[in-house]
Amino acid sequence: MTQSPYPVIRMRPKAQARAIRHGYPWVYDNELVTDRRTKKMEPGTIAVLEDGERQPLGLVAVNPASRIMARMLERDTAAQIDQSWLAARLTRALSLRERLYDQPYYRLIHAEADGLPGVVIDRFGDVAVIQPNAAWAEVFLSQLTAALVEVTGVSHVLKSASGRARVLEGLDDVNAVLVGKAPEAALPVPMNGATYMADLLGGQKTGLFYDQRPNHAFAARLCKNARVLDVFSHVGGFSLAALAAGADSALAIDGSAPALDLAQEGAARMGMQDRFETRKGDAFDVLTALAEEGAQFDVVICDPPAFAPSKKALEAGLRAYERVARLAAPLVAEGGYLGLCSCSHAVDLTRFRSACTRGIGRAGREGQLIHTGSAGPDHPLHPQLAESGYLKALFYRL
């Protein structure tokens, strides 16, 4: 057997190597033998992972500064992690997206589920945005960028350094242009018949959320000739899809004026600005005010930020989801529809559904649960990593 050029790290004798053999992608610091040599490894070092009996498990990316100290990259310990290896992973990911979508607007790499742990790449036509959220991806960023251009042919590659994950990995928060140039204005993105404006530099995350695409599409089916309320709308996610599907009117609520400006621009590009309104403010306050005004809508959809970004925030997050449902339900006309979403990976579907249903009941309403949605297939789920199944969408008829 060929000797690996990489250093070796080893799991503790009592650590559960079986989970790694069965596909679990993370090894925590308390599962590893952490001697002085291991602790001195540079963040992003590639190493061979062995079990307690010194049997090789695969190649991992090591970061002694992170609680997730090793991330599984490759089962074959004879493999070489380089640009051609990265290109092979990108090619495999691209083949799925090209089968799913007829235009190059999608999430190309969804971290562990696409075999590149901690890496997110969103594509906007000729522009790609990379979020290297793990130390190894930062170390290999130039090779990753070169492989991305080689495989996809994009002309412009940006680095987005926002996000809580980079802080946990001990990484900086400096955005950069890696190839080509940054767009001078927001880019139009076609999706579900609507046009969304993506601010790739100043917007949230990579500039647009592709994960809700199938839920936008489902909601749009309910919206023909409807009055629609889109709460926590960002750049008009549900409301613009509703207008494209024939809604009579749509009102978008968000706390960010720049996001609402982009939503307005999207509606204008669709020629539907006369049926579209925005209202800036705290969503809870606006929901309360709308109820006091006696407002009624045929479809109300609430897509808040992660109220429970960690297990510590779970109970507070569940209370917030219940409150959203309680405040939104009275605004739904009899026989209308309420959509409620969560992007908190710490909240599982069962607990989210319970919180939403409880909130609807406390508002004095009853509902049929007609649809349960998740992220689109360009956000594949890693079967052994519950965190990758973060998005949940529930649609009720009240």
Cite the active site residues: 343
Instruction: Give the dihedral of Cα atoms 164, 169, 173, 179; nearest 10 deg.
Output: -110
Tokens 């290896």 locate to 85
**Coil, strand or helix at 206:** coil
Amino acid at position 385, single letter: L
Residue 2 DSSP label: P
CB atoms within 10 A of CB 208: 27
Distance CA 393, CA 341 (A): 4
The residues, any chain, with a CB within 8 Å of residue 322's CB and separated by 6 or more, are 355, 356, 358, 359, 362
| HSE, side-chain direction, 13 A CA sphere, residue 214 | 16
**Bridge partners (DSSP) listed for residue 26:** 71
Positive or negative: CA dihedral 133, 134, 139, 141: negative
| HSE, side-chain direction, 13 A CA sphere, residue 336 | 23
From 28, 203, 238, 45, select the one nearest 131 (Cα to Cα): 203
Tokens of residue 279, six digits: 């209202």
Burial 369-386 (b: 16+ CB within 10 A, else e): eebebbbbbbbbbbeebe
Tokens of residue 324, six digits: 């959203």
**Bridge partners (DSSP) listed for residue 334:** none
Distance CA 48, CA 29 (A): 15
